[in-house]
Amino acid sequence: MKIDANNLALKSWVNVPQGSDFPIQNLPFGIFKTASSTLRVGLRIGDSVLDLKELYELGYLHGLPFVLSDFDNEFLNSMMKKGKQATRDLRNRISHLLDVKNNELQANSNHIQQCISSVKEITMSMPVQIGDYTDFYSSREHATNIGTMIRDPKNALMPNWLWIPVGYHGRASSIIISGQDIHRPKGQIRPNPEADPLYEPCRLLDFELEMAFITYEGKALGDSITTTEAEDYIFGMCLFNDWSARDIQTWEYVPLGPFLSKNFASSMSAWIVTLDALEPFKVEGPVQDPKVLSYLEFEGKKSYDINLEVSIQPENQEETLVCQSNIKYMYWNLVQQLAHHTVNGCNVRCGDLMGSGTISGPTPDSYGSMMELSWRGTKPLTLKDGSERKFIQDKDTVILRGYCSNDGVRVGFGEVVTKVLPAK
Ligand code: MN
């Protein structure tokens, strides 16, 4: 598939700083406002944001199947409801408008003034009205590490794990965007297995390095999305920190799985990078053995080479890089996750969010949670300021970053920055 906006030779007349996550080949969507404007759909390039509401009103988006309210909107859902082809055409059109070889917008300084803002002048908002949130558990390395720690190294993976993209239904109401602080959650913990549980602030607060994908409107209840169709139902991806309270989790998870240990907050990056923009970064995934059941079979490359990083920044200190991973390690890919989610006829809707599960790589410096990095607290990490971390402390800021890179083009996701405040 050839997507015009992905052409590596493209250069924009909008300045893109060296090493930016947002060259003309990316063009992710988000929701923003300026000090004087309402929320609206924006598109990021370099350190600038293109205002699609203004662009539409000025007539630059004619001939595409959108109406003003698709862009004059506090969420992307209305625009996304127009489907894959429409948003692909939109991204291609905007790529053309931003192309240095095209004078249409470039030559009109009044229009540029109206349509383009610096990222310093804007505030980002939740990009998607998320109806349902599902979290998978698709990293074999992560599942193996957790199984090794809490059960038995010889039977680290549950018997279903190599057959099923295991997942659970999370909670959408507590998904927040980068920049919003969280409070340490309180709840039931049982630090001493011989004693009664306690009601206290969580002691073992953890991040989970994940990515998430956002869906277009799916099929009717009762119908399934095949692995072949799945990409047509995925709008794009973001970084996702699925905060976890390990001590609450350990006590509560039997027999129905995670509940309050997970639903107090999950942080997502503000810009949704389209699946189209990620197309050049597809790679083969891990070999799947045993052979998957027929509805999980797929053709072609369905994994992505996306470098992922986590840093911890204590208050008023430098940040320390604690993890470098990659979503290419993930065992179950996105199309398998969506095919599995709908195989029983479950209907996904426009704006549903599907988390990957913690993305751990094969080496100890690529583990995607403190639980694994500190091996349940037995191997504390030392930060640059000399302090140690087994889990996340109050006033720590956790930063996730992610980017793809090849042939000199870098397509990135920006960052998810979340500060942990003391329990209320
Ligand atoms: Mn998770």
Residue ranges and CATH numbers for the domains of the chain are: 4-125 (2.30.30.230), 133-421 (3.90.850.10)
H or E stretch at 115: helix 109-115
CA distance 409 to 24: 10
Q: Sign of dihedral through CA atoms 384, 386, 392, 393?
A: negative
Q: Is the pLDDT of residue 150 over 90?
A: no
Residue-wise pLDDT for 75-106, tens only, equals 999 999 999 999 999 999 999 999 999 999 99
Mean pLDDT over the full length of the chain: 97
- Would you state the pLDDT for residue 407? 83
Residues 6+ apart with CB under 8 A from 97: 55, 60, 104, 105
pLDDT bucket at 408, cuts 50 / 70 / 90? confident
What's the gap in Å between 355 CA and the centre of ligand 1?
A: 7
CA distance 169 to 187: 20
Span 335-339, mean pLDDT? 98
- Would you state the pLDDT for residue 322? 98
Q: Does a cis peptide bond (omega within 30 degrees of 0) precede residue 255?
A: yes
What's the gap in Å between 243 CA and the centre of ligand 1?
A: 7
The SS3 of residue 21 is: coil
- Would you state the pLDDT for residue 151? 86
To the nearest 10°, the Cα dihedral for 96, 101, 104, 105? Answer: 80
pLDDT bucket at 371, cuts 50 / 70 / 90? very high
- Would you state the pLDDT for residue 392? 98
- Would you state the pLDDT for residue 175? 98
Q: Report yes or no: 4 and 94 within 8 Å, Cβ to Cβ.
A: no
Q: Tally Cβ neighbours within 10 Å of residue 208.
A: 26
Q: Is the pLDDT of residue 1 over 80?
A: no
What's the gap in Å between 416 CA and the centre of ligand 1?
A: 15
Let me know if 96 is a catalytic residue. no
pLDDT bucket at 191, cuts 50 / 70 / 90? very high
What's the gap in Å between 209 CA and the centre of ligand 1?
A: 8
- Would you state the pLDDT for residue 205? 98
What's the gap in Å between 51 CA and the centre of ligand 1?
A: 33
- Would you state the pLDDT for residue 2? 83
Residue-wise pLDDT for 204-240, tens only, equals 999 999 999 999 999 999 999 999 999 999 999 999 9
Residues lying with their CB under 5 A of ligand 1, a single-atom ion: 135, 208, 242
- The phi and psi torsions of 69 (rounded to 5 degrees) equal -70, -15
Catalytic-labelled residue, pool 62, 96, 142, 169 = 142
Q: Tally Cβ neighbours within 10 Å of residue 421.
A: 11
- Would you state the pLDDT for residue 251? 96
Report the percent of the chain where pLDDT is more than 90: 98
What is the reported pTM?
0.98
Span 176-191, mean pLDDT? 98
Q: Is the pLDDT of residue 127 over 80?
A: yes
- Would you state the pLDDT for residue 218? 98
What's the gap in Å between 169 CA and the centre of ligand 1?
A: 10
